[in-house]
Structure 1
Amino acid sequence: MVMQEEGYRKFNQENVNEDTGMAKLDVFEVQDSHFFRPRTCCETLLRVLQCVLLAVCAVLLLVLIAMVTSKFWHVSQDLQEMKSAIDSLNASMLSASEVNKGKSQYLESGSTQDTKKDPCFEDWELFQGSCYQLSEMEEQWDDAKKACESEGAHLMIITSLEEQRQAWKFMRDVGVNIWIGLHDIDEEGDWRWVDGTMVSAMPQFWDYKQPDNWDHKKNRTEDCGSLHRHGSLSSGWNDDYCMEYYRYICEKEV
């Protein structure tokens, strides 16, 4: 019993401040008592609001990330489509360039080939193995004959319906009478071509009631052949006065 009292006094002395006479507080005890102090309603509400705010921020952040990702994906798709369109345009331009190049080469080669294949001179037209030229000048029949011969040719000789159509095309384009290589100058009624061939030995395309050797005036008979502008495609020959001035067709065999 005596020992317990002594121990109690000793504990009191150790836990009493010598200067103030007040009991010392254990720091650990104070800290523990503060840690386990009950929270107020305001502190709890504040903590809940903080959690809610953090959750909202997290959600907004996720939404923002999703929007940016989606926008980036769409931009990437647009860029890819633009790249594809540019590639397609470049391919089309290249293809068009190749086509134009091929066309130019074809035209150049075609022009060269035509030059090689076409033996006719400029202003002469190739038809069934002969070159033809319609004169610009008007001449009398004999002068027209000489003009063709000076070109190494002769007045046109018509031996088929196809040649008749070709001659008719020349006449139709200018709408005037045209001299051809037909005559009966040597003997009346003996119609021949300038190469001496008898007309009766070939197809004939005389106009209606021609030749009639109509006497314009005394000693002005019709002894030279022409294509009459009022004739038809298959019947346009006419015997005409040789001193008339007409345009003429020259023919040169290839």
Structure 2
Amino acid sequence: MEPPHNDTSKPDPGRRRPWVVGISGASGTPYAASVLRGLLAAGEAVDLIVSRASRLTLMDETGIAFRDAHWRTDLREWLALGADGKPETYPVTDERLADVRYWPAGDLAAGPSSGSYPVKGMLIVPASTACVAGVALGLSKDLLQRVASVTLKERRRLVVTVRETPLNGPTLKHLVALDEAGAVVLPASPAFYAGATHIQDLVDFVAGRVLDAAEVPHGLYRRWEGELRGGSKGEAPEAS
């Protein structure tokens, strides 16, 4: 017997499946900006959650006030900043931002709060120790933590880019719990073998490793190929 024409039992290959990017209150907003630029450059759809605490960090690190009513304008200004704070380093077009959706952190009825909402996974960049604890304990006190819990229960990819030092015992236990639950614990630890000559290189290395964990193609850093290169040489990278 043939299925009815309105059968929805098979996945729709044309359906939007974004990466959820959660930004917590830890220092490191340039990491988040680089990850977002990398996802958009790869043609990935993005659902964005900016925690209340992260707005204070963003203001402190960039001078940008992220506002719910003007989030697209504020996001464009933020993504255009270089890691050194230079404006318009990475101009962002409306076309590039067309497939970004923003969900307020207090909206617990948002789409990604349900496991039935189709997403590829979630990247928390940066992740504060408070965020790590909330996700590890399943508190779901805001949308960011709720989506992380949903990501774990649905067995989707969760990358937690913790940005804190030193780490105390409770946080280390929380990170172990996240690892055991299936998350990728990815500390914001820049490497220097890629020939860093500028602060943006160090930021992009961490962002590139986040995208590696999500299996999203990018060209944010020079990969190790088994050959010594004699240190960092050359000029600071130009904006692309």
TM-score by length of 2: 0.24
TM-score by length of 1: 0.23
Q: Which has the higher helix share?
A: 1
